[in-house]
Amino acid sequence: MRVSIRDIQKMKADREPIVMITAYDATSARLSEAAGVPMLLVGDSLGMVIQGHDVPVPVTLEHIMYHAEIVTRVTATALIVGDMPFMSYNVSVEQALTNSARLMQASGVGAVKMEGGEYLAETIHRVTQVGIPVMAHIGLQPQSVYKVGGMRVQGRDLDGARQLLRDAQAIEEAGAFAVVLESVPAPLAEMITHKLQIPTIGIGAGAATDGQVQVFHDILGLFEEFTPRHAKHYAELGGVIREAIGNYARDVRERKFPAPENSFNMKDDVLAALQINGADEHAGH
């Protein structure tokens, strides 16, 4: 049985910190679930860490569906949240309904995530009304990187902070089951967390949110272009992998790999017959 949105909401009520991490493929999903993470996000951060773009804007619904199907298929207990990519839900409520349903039906995710606050409330309301749980995402919204002018902390000034409080209130009233707070000053994130009944999941939003989400590649040291301030490396797997591949390449060049234990043998009589036949055939030509 998978973790449900009710289980996630109960964790807030029980003051149990909620752990979430991104997953994009069988390896990241299996490892994260085995580590006991209850909620996995197939995020459009795959645009950066899988596809090699600088921003998530080029990611399409088909890309998310492809990765989400893998993540749901290889996991058994985690709640899988599928990210709605840029312009797959912002054109109209009808578009959001159609595409959220496509993502859910095609890939089996248990919820979708959408970037947007007050202005997205009507969409969130309609999508949740038809039975699709929505995780909202406010603060820094990476899909709006070109409008914002970079990956900037949000809600630092009075107007920005008040807008974020309105956004949080609006998406809760609209029916979102949880909300990601990205790059929000810690005191403001704490205020929002106390104000809302639904869980807040922070990334760059301090330690007082109900949970935390991180990008798989960021915390494992696999994304080496830069380390966001909000991320901590719990391992340096980039270096470990580079060294391992270097060792493999050296062994191949020095003919040390494959060793006999990595190779397959055959019966002596078959080999002998082959050699005799081979010699005969060779002699015949």
The answer to whether residue 180 forms part of the interface with ligand KIV (CB under 6 A) is yes
Q: Please give the residue whose beta carbon sits closest to ligand KIV in the complex.
A: 43
End-to-end CA distance of the chain: 68
112: enclosing H helix or E strand: strand 111-115
Cα–Cα dist 13/98, whole Å: 33
Nearer to ligand KIV, 124 or 215 (CB): 215
The answer to whether residue 136 forms part of the interface with ligand KIV (CB under 6 A) is no
Rounded to a whole number of angstroms, the minimum distance from the CB of residue 244 to ligand KIV is 27
The answer to whether residue 18 forms part of the interface with ligand KIV (CB under 6 A) is no
The answer to whether residue 22 forms part of the interface with ligand KIV (CB under 6 A) is yes
Number of C-beta neighbours around residue 9 at 10 A: 17
Nearer to ligand KIV, 140 or 246 (CB): 140
Residue pair 160/150 in contact by the 8 Å Cβ criterion = no
Beta bridge partners of 83: 113
Q: Which stretch binds ligand KIV (CB under 6 A): 5-13, 38-46, 90-98, 152-160?
A: 38-46
Q: Is the dihedral of CA 163, 167, 173, 178 positive or negative?
A: negative
The answer to whether residue 41 forms part of the interface with ligand KIV (CB under 6 A) is yes
Reading the block at residue 276, the tokens are 């005799």
Rounded to a whole number of angstroms, the minimum distance from the CB of residue 180 to ligand KIV is 5
List the interface residues with ligand KIV, window 223-282 (CB under 6 A).
none
Largest CA distance in the chain: 93
The only residue of 11, 12, 40, 43 in contact with ligand KIV, by rule CB under 6 A: 43
Q: Which of 84, 90, 28 lies closest to 60 in space, CA to CA?
A: 84
Rounded to a whole number of angstroms, the minimum distance from the CB of residue 56 to ligand KIV is 6
CA angle 90, 71, 46 (to 5 degrees): 50
Active-site annotation holds for 118 = no
The answer to whether residue 172 forms part of the interface with ligand KIV (CB under 6 A) is no
DSSP 200: E
202 three-class SS: strand
The answer to whether residue 203 forms part of the interface with ligand KIV (CB under 6 A) is yes
Overall residue count recorded for the chain in this entry: 285
The answer to whether residue 196 forms part of the interface with ligand KIV (CB under 6 A) is no
Q: Which stretch binds ligand KIV (CB under 6 A): 39-47, 84-92, 250-258, 259-267?
A: 39-47
Cα–Cα dist 264/84, whole Å: 48
**Catalytic, out of 118, 182, 236, 243:** 182
In the complex, which residues of this chain contact ligand KIV (CB under 6 A)? 22, 41, 43-45, 83, 137, 180, 182, 203, 213, 215
Q: Which residues are catalytic?
A: 182
